[in-house]
Amino acid sequence: MNEILDWIIHHSPALIVAVPLLGAFLTILIGKIGPRIRNVFVIIITAITSFFVLLLANYVFTNGIKTYVFGGSSTSIESSYAIRILFEIDGLNAFIAIIAAILPIVAIIYSWAFMKEHTGLDKYYTLILLMTAGMLGMILTGDLFNFFVFLEITSIASAALIAFYLHKANSVQAAFKYIVISAIGALFLLFAIALFYGQYNALNMAVIANNISFTFIDKIALVVLIAALAMKAGIVPMHMWLPDAYGRAPASVTVVLIGTTLASLYGLFRVIFTIYGNHLFTVDSSQIALVLGVLIIILAVVTIVIGVFMALKQNDFKRMIAFAAIAEIGYMFLAVGAALSTYTFEGSSATISASGQMALKGGVFHIFNDALDVGLLFLVAGAVYYAAKETSLNKLGGLARNMKYTTIFFLIGLAAVSGLPPMNGFASKLIIYQSTFQINPLLAIVAILCSILLLATFVKVFYSVFLGPKLPKFSGVKEVPKSMLIAMGIIACIIIFIGLFPNVFVENIVTPAANALQNATSYIGGVL
């Protein structure tokens, strides 16, 4: 039994991508038997994938970096480095992979009832599994070109899913916008990869990080990479695709889309902290770390403010949550930028100050919480749409009478996303407030004010959707089916659990991830 488990853990990086990929194409065949069997099959596939992810994460958190090489047992040949695809998992990958594994399960359980009335569901599930495979591949891979390939798999599958409501002009338009943005982003990513390859003859992130000498071409590549990945992650000047894509896609798809956005964000962190990490933070380029930190802080503050204010004026339930999601991405960025700006230099090595460490932890922690909170809110919006066939905030009202459980889930999501205790959002936002206050009080003030505004926005939504007089139009509205309630319940339970015991979570999962972020040397050591 232990041998089998060891074998699975050893091969889990490959299996995590292979299982959903195989499942995706089997889904079409199994769909011929019957819809019920197909749904069970898809749930089993995602459950197996998540099981592998958890095993791998557990291994990484206890034993350190795991490197898995395809087509060979070792990363190097005699006297030099072999060009091989390899997956390298450290604390940060493992952490993000856990999020990326939870979201598809929830989405698929939710889709059981939510998508029931639609045709073409075989293809729908195939695309969701493809998205899962691509997303996990992006997260686990240690090879830049491989990252590009998985990014394209993810964006093709997501664009097709955003256009799932083909009869609605808006969703087709949103999908076109999304595919144009992600195609351009991915091509510039490939351009940057070619710049690296031309200089260092390598595609492996660790090898590039080891050889990088911060030439002029490397600086161009850094700018191109940050622009391309920030575009995919929805940072403000490049955010215009995000509300459309999040708002027009079916709610279950949006939940997985959040995962793909976070995977791009992970890519951004990997580029800044690992590939450029050793060079950005040495003495000769000390100014650059500060400049990059300040730049990221400015982007983050703009993202938060614009996200919150745009959310305030939306009339559409899902678009409003999408803008809130943009603001939440800003919070992660704020924490990371604040941490970057506190690098201090003693001799030849750079260290982050204690408050910077805290900020980094808060930022990483917030990635997890954002995915859950915003995911839950989108699921609630989907449930309201399912029951009332309406997403306009002006027309909805009085639904709390008919949809008790959904109302409770919305309240949980509302409290979590605006950082109220005892939800998980409070735990991570408090860390961010505290640490940014020590770095620069102004940042903390902006962060807290925007959180309050976010709360105001959601209270307004809560009032206009769930409270208010009973509308005759919605008198026949019933509570949504069980599968949707279960999906929302799973997320709500995790939210409350993290909110009540944040320490368990921070110590066991977040701290290794935050440490991995700062430790480019050990990531390089995993390969060379």
For another protein, the binding residue among 173, 211, 285, 522 (CB under 8 A) is 173
Which residue in the set 58, 170, 475, 521 belongs to the binding site for another protein (CB under 8 A)?
Answer: 170
Binding of another protein at residue 504 (CB under 8 A)? no
Contact 258, 375 (CB under 8 A): yes
Task: Using the rule CB under 8 A, give the single segment among 72-80, 143-151, 405-413, 498-506 that binds another protein.
Answer: 143-151
Minimum CB distance to another protein smaller for 252 or for 391: 391
Quick one: 153 or 339, whose CB is closer to another protein?
153
Closest approach, Cβ 199 to another protein, in A, equals: 10
Beta strands 349-352; 86-89: pairing state: unpaired
Question: Residue 55 interacts with another protein (CB under 8 A)?
Answer: no
Give me the 180-219 binding string for another protein, x by CB under 8 A, dash otherwise: x--xx--x--xx--x--xx--x-x----------------
- The residue within the footprint of another protein, chosen from 29, 44, 77, 169 (CB under 8 A), is 169
Task: Give me the phi and psi of 215, to 5 degrees please.
Answer: -80, 180
Q: Which range touches another protein (CB under 8 A), out of 141-149, 274-282, 359-367, 377-385?
A: 141-149
Q: Count CB neighbours of 429 within 10 A.
A: 26
Structure tokens at 157: 């599958």
- Does position 176 interact with another protein (CB under 8 A)? The reply is yes
Does 378 help bind another protein (rule: CB under 8 A)? Answer: no
Residue 75 or 483 having the CB closest to another protein = 75
User: Amino acid identity, residue 246?
Assistant: Y
161 belongs to the binding site for another protein (CB under 8 A): no
Beta carbon nearer to another protein, 197 or 309: 197
Residue 424 near residue 362 (C-beta atoms within 8 A): no
Take residue 220 and report the two structure tokens written for it.
């161009």
Interaction between residue 220 and another protein (CB under 8 A): no
Which residue is it, tokens 């008790």? 404
- Cβ proximity to another protein: between 311 and 367 the closer is 311
Binding mask 70-99 for another protein (x = CB under 8 A): -------------x----------------
Distance of closest approach, residue 441 Cβ to another protein, in angstroms:
40
Angle among Cα 151, 153, 157 to the nearest 5 degrees reads 115
Nearest to 400 by CA among 409, 390, 389: 409
Residues 211-220: contacts with CB under 8 Å, at least 24 apart: 212/275, 212/276, 212/278, 212/279, 213/279, 214/276, 214/279, 214/280, 214/285, 218/276, 220/195
DSSP three-state, residue 86: strand
Cβ closest to another protein, residue 160 vs residue 517: 160
* Residue 321 backbone dihedrals phi, psi, to 5 degrees: -65, -35
Q: Tell me the C-alpha distance between 456 and 524, whole Å.
A: 46
Q: C-beta of 115: minimal distance to another protein in Å?
A: 20
Task: Return the exposure string of 238-265: e unless at least 16 CB atoms fall within 10 Å of the residue's CB, then b.
Answer: bbebbbbbbbbbbbbbbbbbbbbbbbbb
Element (H, E) at 172: helix 169-200
CB nearer another protein, residue 224 or residue 430: 224
Least separation in angstroms between CB 201 and another protein: 8
Nearer to another protein, 156 or 360 (CB): 156
Residue 237 DSSP one-character state:
G
* Residue 512, preceding peptide bond in cis (omega within 30° of 0): no
Q: Tell me the torsion sign for CA atoms 435, 439, 443, 449.
A: positive
Q: State in angstroms the smallest separation of the CB of 110 from another protein.
A: 23
Distance CA 343, CA 259 (A): 30
88, 152, 328, 370: residue in contact with another protein (rule CB under 8 A): 152
299 binds another protein (CB under 8 A): no
Q: What is the DSSP letter of 315?
A: -
CB 307 within 8 A of CB 300: no
165 near another protein, rule: CB under 8 A: no
* 231, two tokens: 């575009």
Nearer to another protein, 182 or 518 (CB): 182
Which of 57, 97, 163, 207 contacts another protein by CB under 8 A? 163
Question: What single letter denotes the amino acid at residue 435?
Answer: S
Number of residues this chain uses to bind another protein (CB under 8 A) = 30
Nearer to another protein by Cβ, of 244 and 328: the residue is 244
**Residues engaged in binding another protein (CB under 8 A):** 83, 145, 148-149, 152, 155-156, 159-160, 163, 166, 168-170, 172-173, 175-176, 179-180, 183-184, 187, 190-191, 194, 197-198, 201, 203
